[in-house]
Chain A
Amino acid sequence: MAEDIRPQNENELQQLIASAYSAGTGLEIIGQGTKRGLGHRVKADLVIDLSNISGITLYEPEELVMSAYGGTPTSEINAALGAKGQMLAFEPWDPAQIYGTKQGKGTIGGLFMTGFAGPRRISAGAPRDHLLGVNAINGAGEMFKSGGRVVKNVSGFDIPKLMAGSFGTLAVASQLTFKVLPRPEAVRTILLKGLSVDEAGKAMRAVMASPHEASGAAHLPAALSCQSEIDEIATSNTSITILRVEGPRPSAEYRADAIGKMLNSFGHISQLRSEKSAMLWREIRDVQPLCSGDAKDLSKHIWRVSLAPTDGPRLANWVEKNTKADFYMDWSGGLVWISLDENIVQFAEKLRSIVSGFGGHATLVRANDDASGDASGDDRDLVGVFNPLGRAIDPLVKRVKQSFDPDGILNPGRMFGAEQI
């Protein structure tokens, strides 16, 4: 096992990376390590744990902005925001269910650098849309800043966006500044039962094409709805399709009613009360439908596929007809989660070819992990976590990587395994 080192502040962190650069030491960068299962296994000599570089450094609720050190627990951030009636609008996920780790953990740096958003992605955007500025240390041990604390900013390249979702392979974000938003006053969830995948796709897209600003649109087939912890859903014995609206109370009520009327022809419509509604969206966000009941064992591989909303149901239909996989749809059909325990190589090949035909991206979020820590025979390396780079873009991506981390010492291999990125 690589040695674990925990710098106390930004300066120590910088010195550490600078000396690793001159010694050619490969570094794995972690916050609390909750998302280590996401991305390839890093081949490093030393683990840098950022959890001591922690704390909120600026919070101005009326300016909708917060800054914090990279190692700040996300729970601390959520608590501070909650106290002022605000939130991270992209709906941060909790990977605990997927990776079988402790709930409520994770750091703000890890959250932004892995770049996943929850169901509200369709209305509020992804972490990249909320990250305004960074202080970071590149792979040559230089501390730089980019962006700022204001939303509107065209002053040099938008490096914070590039870093969001870069899995710490470009630079280590020691401090992040991000946009925060008010929590909605009221939430309403509209529930439809028994729709097929195609019908659900149609219903969800119709709502997204309306002026009702839906902030969630998901579909759980019958095989998964029975896993829900909400009785009403679990005992329904059929597929469920849910739509969420948020806003000032009268507005949420009006919009929910209007959507109900719009979808009348799709079948019986009901509404979920706020507490249950929140629970259900949390389940969708944290991929619980694929991680409970029979699916609880960690040996199944889990895929997260982003595609155009009309292609989601097409992919889902293919999965249903040709495989034994479980799946559900989020983002109005633009996101399909799939879990399967059969031959990963064959499935990966087929899935990737279908998705590239459609235009989209398939990420292997969980693979059957060899707990011994031996990277050989690791499924993630076998099939690749992200879509392969592709000939046109490969050299450019490598040059971008080198422009931050010339010797490839930051999280070697985390994104593209064998490609060393």
Chain B
Amino acid sequence: MKMPKPDGQIIDRRREIIDALARILPGEGLIVDEEELRAYECDGLMAYRQLPLVVALPETTEQISQILSYCHKAGVKIVPRGAGTGLSGGALPLADGITVGLGKLNRIIDVDFENRAVVAQPGVTNKAITDAVEAKGFYYAPDPSSKIACSIGGNVAENSGGMHCLKYGLTTNNLLGLEMVLMSGEIIRLGGKHLDAGGYDLMGIITGSEGLLGIITEVTVRILQKPEVQCAILVGFPSSTAGGDCVANIVAAGIIPSAMEMMDRMAISAMEQFVHSGYPLDVESILIVELDGPEVEVDYLLQKVEAIAASAGSTFFRASNSEQERQMFWQGRMSAFPSVGRISPDYLTMDGTIPRHRLPEVLGEMAEMSKKYDLRVANVFHAGDGNLHPLILYDANKQGELEKAEKFGFEILKLCVRVGGVLSGEHGIGVEKRDLMGEMFSEIDLDQQQRLKCAFDPTGLMNPGKVYPTPRRCAEMSWMHVKADKLPFPDIPRF
């Protein structure tokens, strides 16, 4: 993975840039010392590090607008950064770019129970939104495992999901409004507390745009009332195929559980060593199915799920009997990453989505690859929506092992695309998967996307080097065509 060559002239102008920023951000708003810059050198993808030119920590939308407007004129690149938990390197700094950290914009602006909406600044954490409304029984549905730390602005930028997006949707389905500052410094507002905003769905394109289109400065999300009852069911299977069949049959029976999570033997054993969730150890795969709703609904569906699981060949079945037990079942799954961190010095978190029925085949091939690369892999799987997280275990201290792990990961993602899936389900492309975009998209497809970026960011200064393998100047991208003087239509029937 290569980042674009830093612009030496910008680096030479560092002093001047710092002075200009200091005029916009009085007080503690700038980080310039190398020691302190270290804290920003990477995001959750820790294999890649780079010190930023400087870090700016604005406190208002107006300041962000001024910073961007200055950088736009001065030709300085920008990297937006939320909490830095992103796993694809979207917030990886640039040596010749300013990292704009949004941590100081951390206020909840409005809690509106009547309209079931919360307006928050981008640096507010995902969990803080639920915390703000919980007293009245409400919550914010998308629940990435990183919810304690990750920011709502980052969630929008990555279109983050979580365990419960099977029933409640991803960030994009729970978003009502946005404020964003474009690279030019212009401030735009989209949506609000209403559902249909009219005109082009710019909010739809901004969600999941990985900080390439502008800096999100305010977010309005929808909140929901908590279900009366939640019940988690732990099901064990002698093979992953049987687990996959069970998932397919549940959906085919017209049941959409609030969550369906699967994990393989390697993941189960790592989790059980770390937290004791009571997972059976004599199975090849475990499925956690969560049902929610009124008690009558949960009981009714529980019986159906039990029958479906049995006919798929389950060898273990237990439904949570108390909130405490439900939490315990989830504990293991929720700590998948740290558990794997315990059994291996390092690991890579992959994130691809596949059509669910291809799971056995994908797991089979992955096992082959694991032998080929001589690296272990543990699988956790948002089974309901086909989002696979293979965790590749390696040791960075061993010469060449990171490179080997990355190759393994790339091969998995290519496989995902080959079976009809995609390169990223929820972690984004960032720098990590940038060079794989050609596996999924043609040159024309990618040009269309980059043209769209140019509409937001004509100078290409907003988070460059991410997502798109071949950065293109916007001027290069305009179409050239020869005008014909007649209508040369092919032989197509006319009416």
Contacts and interface: CB of A to CB of B under 8 A. Distances in A.
Interface in A67-120: 85, 115-117
B200 A162 contact: yes
B255 to A, nearest CB: 7
Given A4-B495, A22-B483, A153-B422, A144 B455 contact: no
Nearest to A143: B444
Question: Per DSSP, are chain B's interface residues mostly helix, strand or loop, or mixed?
Answer: loop
Nearest to A52: B493
Given A152-B353, A389-B199, A157 B225 contact: no
Contacts of B489: 5, 16, 19
A156 B192 CA distance: 25
A402 interface: yes
A256 to B, nearest CB: 11
B451 A63 contact: no
A415 B446 CA distance: 26
Contact of B114 (A8, A19, A309, A386): A309
Contacts of B147: none
B481 A21 contact: yes
A142 B115 contact: no
Given A165-B201, A308-B115, A154 B357 contact: no
B294 A258 contact: yes
A363 B170 CA distance: 27
Given A309-B114, A331-B195, A415-B199, A154 B490 contact: no
Interface string A245-281: 0011111011100100000000000000000000000
A146 interface: yes
A308 B114 CA distance: 9
A139 B428 CA distance: 28
A288 B169 CA distance: 31
Contact of B202 (A152, A209, A400): A400
A308 B355 contact: no
Given A150-B385, A152-B386, A4 B494 contact: yes
Interface stretch (B9-17, B37-45, B47-55, B203-211): B203-211
Interface string B423-437: 111111100010001
Contacts of A140: 479, 481
B248 A62 contact: yes
B98 interface: no
Contacts of B376: none
A162 B490 contact: no
A118 to B, nearest CB: 12
Interface of A: 3-8, 12, 15-16, 19-25, 46, 49, 60-65, 85, 115-117, 121-122, 125-126, 128-129, 138, 140, 142-146, 148-159, 161-162, 164-166, 170, 181-183, 185, 205, 208-213, 247-251, 253-255, 258, 306-311, 331, 334-335, 359-361, 363, 386-387, 389, 392-393, 396-397, 399-404, 406, 415
Nearest to B115: A308
Contact of A157 (B205, B256, B488, B490): B205
A6 B490 CA distance: 11
A258 B248 CA distance: 32
Contacts of B149: none
Contacts of A389: 199
Interface string B137-175: 110000000000000000000110100010001101100
A307 to B, nearest CB: 5
B387 interface: yes
Contacts of B445: 144-146, 156
A387 B487 CA distance: 36
Residue among B113, B158, B165, B251 with the highest chain A CB neighbour number at 10 A:
B251
B72 to A, nearest CB: 14
Cβ-closest 10 pairs across A and B: A161-B204, A251-B297, A182-B254, A361-B198, A308-B193, A152-B425, A399-B455, A306-B196, A403-B451, A359-B192
Contact of B483 (A7, A24, A154, A404): A24
A106 B368 CA distance: 49
Given A63-B356, A162-B200, A309-B115, A23 B488 contact: yes
B248 to A, nearest CB: 4
Interface string B415-458: 00000111111111100010001001110111011011111101
B424 A128 contact: no
A143 to B, nearest CB: 7
Contacts of B387: 150, 152
Contact of A361 (B165, B196, B385, B488): B196
A251 B300 contact: yes
Contacts of A20: 487
B293 A247 contact: yes
Given A60-B355, A144-B444, A254-B294, A403 B452 contact: yes
B486 interface: yes
A157 B447 CA distance: 12
A128 B196 CA distance: 10
Residue among A61, A62, A387 with the highest chain B CB neighbour number at 10 A:
A62
B414 interface: no
B440 to A, nearest CB: 6
A360 B429 contact: no
Contacts of A128: 201, 204
B187 interface: yes
Given A157-B452, A308-B194, A360-B192, A397 B200 contact: yes
A321 B230 CA distance: 46
A152 B452 CA distance: 21
Residue among B197, B201, B227, B293 with the highest chain A CB neighbour number at 10 A:
B201
A122 B189 CA distance: 22
Contacts of B209: 157-158
Given A144-B445, A211-B227, A150 B354 contact: yes
